Chain A
Amino acid sequence: MEIEYTGQSGLYGLMASFDRPEPLLEAAREARAEGYRDMDAYAPMPVEGLAEAVGFRSNSVSRIVFAGGLMGAIGGFGLMWWISVIAYPHIVDGRPLNSWPAYIPITFECMVLIASITAVVGMLALNGLPRPYHPVFNVPQFERASRDQFFLCIEATDPKFDLAATRRFLEHLKPLEVMEVEA
């Protein structure tokens, strides 16, 4: 996702803080039911169901990893075949040059290697990382997102976003606090 600085008067969005995961999950679900789409939730630990609550449906990492794994497997097998049949054709132990069972461990290892590299790189790329600047850190309390607080941020780019109305909506979720996030 690209960084967007649009919205009202240099405002990135409105952020509500919670002290436990359950109210955050509830708030995310209510915000989605209310019609908000551009939002994100921040928690110090994985909260099961939260990704779905903020609108995550499926991601393309699994497909990228599958493609990576397939390429790794084909590449590994191809490498072994090329070495044993084309580049260094030695007869070992009376076996045929193309003794494919011997290639399988290397094929498997290459599949795992390339699949895991694509998983990490693909995840970072799709998340837009590394990213030196993110507006949510303009909120001083936000550092507690990695410690003991849970945050829901509705972004100003959302078509339904309205400073007063969205603030009222977030207030009624009974958060600890509702804060404006500068872009």
Chain B
Amino acid sequence: MTNPDPAMDRIAIWQRWSLIIGIAASLGAFAAFQINRAEFLRSYLFAYLFWAGMALGCLGILLLHHTVGGKWGMVIRRFCEAGARTIPIMAVLLIPVLVSLGTLYVWAGPEGARDADIQSKAAYLNVPFFIARAVFYFAIWTLYAFLLSKWSAEQDRTADAGLAGRMRALSAPGLVVFVVTTTFAFFDWIMSIEPHWFSTVYGAMFLMGLVLEAFALIIALLIILSKHAPLRDYVTPQHLHDLGNMMFAFTVLWAYLAFSQFIIIWAGNLPEEIPWYLRRLAKGWNAIAVFLIVFHFCLPFVLLLQRDMKRRAGLLLKLCAFMLVVRIVDVFWVVEPGFYQQQLQVHWTDFLLPVAIGGLWLAALFRQLRARPLVPLNDPRLRGAPRETVAF
């Protein structure tokens, strides 16, 4: 970099360190793979879902932003685009899962072949169709990420006023496609770990958590980078207030969907539905469940109600960092009990793999972030004081 640009320099440093840490942890992960393949894959799947969820959350926020056009989205659009452009990398990182389906998923192993109930679902749950669906999901998500990124870059160059409308026209139906494809992706990748169990709200519940974690990461990066130009000139307390409100909304939405699933299964009390909760409320796991109720809902709910929490960058940054930790606990609680029937088990790979995949993913994110200016250059909605005289 020749021009003095402190924001880009910082991102470059983050990129280098993410890559170094990611590669170092990946070497350790490779050792773990040699020692115990099953342990490695279980940790890998959970870590993968957390970080792939970041990329998907970024795409979801981008689609939402283009659909509703709020000014809160203008300052984070480049972060979302960069995150969405990492989706092809996450497709590559799914390969270790796809080649070991038999180890991870009961339905793909010898046990599944003997189970009549699983056999009745074999038309959907079989290895070739599973892989074909994964390819299909990634093709669709990559297409949306590619088109929205391309048109946004075109807007930078040409200032064509029609592009904003074209992005909206793609995004509004895109949101529907996105929610349906992610729902099925999570049915495939996570829900099928316990192939006897099913819940229709599952995909949406998991997706809300992922959008929440993407918001937490993006807001944290935005706050840190808003100390420097160009974001310094655009980000105001009002933007942070709006973004804090979005985090609040997704916290409540997550709690609403998570509780909806729980109350229906609890009230029905049917033998094929309750095992999911019995496992997740078994010894050790129940402490995590209480942790999630308190720290994934109650605490952020009360904190994000407060105006100061959302308008003071320092406070909001701390909350975002905290929410990232809580999110990874939630993904762990949703994914891992499917493998361990009796009680809570945590392996050293559960700590190593999130660092390994996270390092690599963040390096990719920062690389994409440096590829474009940090704010859209020619979108009329960025100009002028935020929300002054016009609410949206």
Indicate whether A101 reaches chain B with its CB closer than 8 angstroms.
yes
Closest to A24 in B: B389
With A22-B389, A47-B389, A66-B305 as contacts: A104 and B267 at CB distance below 8 Å: no
Indicate if A2 sits at the interface (CB-CB under 8 A).
Answer: no
* Chain A residues with CB under 8 A of B262: 101
Contacts A22-B389, A25-B389, A48-B388 hold; do A104 and B263 have CB atoms under 8 A apart?
A: yes
Interface residues on B, range: 10 to 19
Pairwise interchain contact A21-B389, C-beta atoms closer than 8 A = yes
Judge if B10 is at the interface, Cβ distance under 8 Å. Answer: no
B 365-392 to A, binary, CB cutoff 8 A, 1 in contact else 0:
0000000000000000000010111110
Partner of B391, one of A46, A62, A101, A105: A46
Give chain B interface residues in 241-291, CB to chain A under 8 Å. 259, 262-263, 266-267, 269
Instruction: Confirm or deny: B307 has a beta carbon within 8 angstroms of a beta carbon on chain A.
Output: yes
Q: Which residues of A contact B259 (CB under 8 A)?
A: 104
How many of chain A's residues touch chain B, expressed as a range?
Answer: 10 to 19
Q: Does A124 contact B (CB under 8 A)?
A: no
Give Cα A101 to B260, complex, Å.
11
The smallest C-beta distance from B241 to any residue of chain A, in angstroms, reads 12
Expressed in whole angstroms, the Cα–Cα distance for A104 and B307 within the complex equals: 27
Residue of chain A at shortest CB distance from B262: A101
Q: Of residues A48, A49, A93, which shows the largest number of chain B Cβ atoms within 10 Å of its Cβ? A: A48
Q: In the complex, A48 Cα to B71 Cα: how many Å?
A: 13
Interface 1/0 per residue, A97-124 and B, CB below 8 Å: 0000110110000000000000000000
Residue among B266, B385, B389 facing the most chain A CB atoms (10 A cut-off): B389
Assuming A62-B307, A66-B305, is B267 touching A102 (CB within 8 A)?
yes
What is the bound-complex CA distance between A49 and B389, given in angstroms? 7
A 35-50 to B, binary, CB cutoff 8 A, 1 in contact else 0: 0000000000011110
Distance A66 CA – B390 CA, assembled complex (angstroms)? 28
Report the minimal beta-carbon distance from A71 to chain B, rounded to whole angstroms.
16
Q: Is A58 an interface residue (CB 8 A)?
A: yes
Given A58-B307, A62-B307, A66-B305, are A101 and B389 also a contact pair (CB < 8 Å)?
A: no
Q: Which residue of A lies closest to B259 (CB)?
A: A104
Q: What A residues does B390 contact at CB under 8 A?
A: 48
Report yes or no: B391 in contact with A48, Cβ–Cβ below 8 A: yes
Chain B residues whose CB sits within 8 angstroms of the CB of A49 once the complex forms: 385, 387-389
* Chain A residues whose C-beta falls within 8 Å of the C-beta of B388 in the assembled complex: 25, 48-49
Whether B389 lies near A48 (C-beta < 8 A) is: yes
Name the residue of chain A whose CB is nearest to the CB of B392: A48
Within 8 Å CB of B269, what residues of A? 93
Within the complex, the shortest CB–CB distance from B242 to chain A, in Å, comes to 12
Contacts of A102 in B (CB 8 A): 263, 267
| Mask of A137-155 contacts with B, CB within 8 angstroms, 1/0 | 0000000000000000000
Q: How far in angstroms is the closest Cβ of chain B from A80?
A: 13
CB within 8 A of B263: which of A21, A48, A105? A105
Taking CB atoms, residues of chain A closer than 8 Å to B307 are: 58, 62
Q: Smallest distance from the beta carbon of B160 to chain A beta carbons, Å?
A: 28
Would you call B387 and A48 a contact (CB within 8 A)? yes
Which residues of chain B are near A105, meaning CB under 8 Å? 263
Q: Give the residue name and chain of the A residue nearest to B306 (CB).
A: A62
Show 12 residue pairs from A and B whose CB-CB distance is below 8 angstroms, ordered by the A residue: A22-B389, A48-B238, A48-B387, A48-B388, A48-B389, A49-B385, A49-B387, A49-B388, A49-B389, A62-B307, A104-B259, A105-B263
8 tightest A-B CB contacts, nearest first: A48-B387, A48-B388, A21-B389, A49-B388, A101-B266, A101-B263, A47-B389, A48-B389
Chain B residues in the interface with A (C-beta under 8 A): 238, 259, 262-263, 266-267, 269, 305, 307, 385, 387-391
Name 19 extra pairs, CB < 8 A, besides A49-B388, A62-B307, A105-B263.
A25-B388, A25-B389, A48-B238, A48-B387, A48-B388, A48-B389, A48-B390, A48-B391, A49-B385, A49-B387, A49-B389, A58-B307, A62-B305, A66-B305, A101-B262, A101-B266, A102-B263, A102-B267, A104-B259
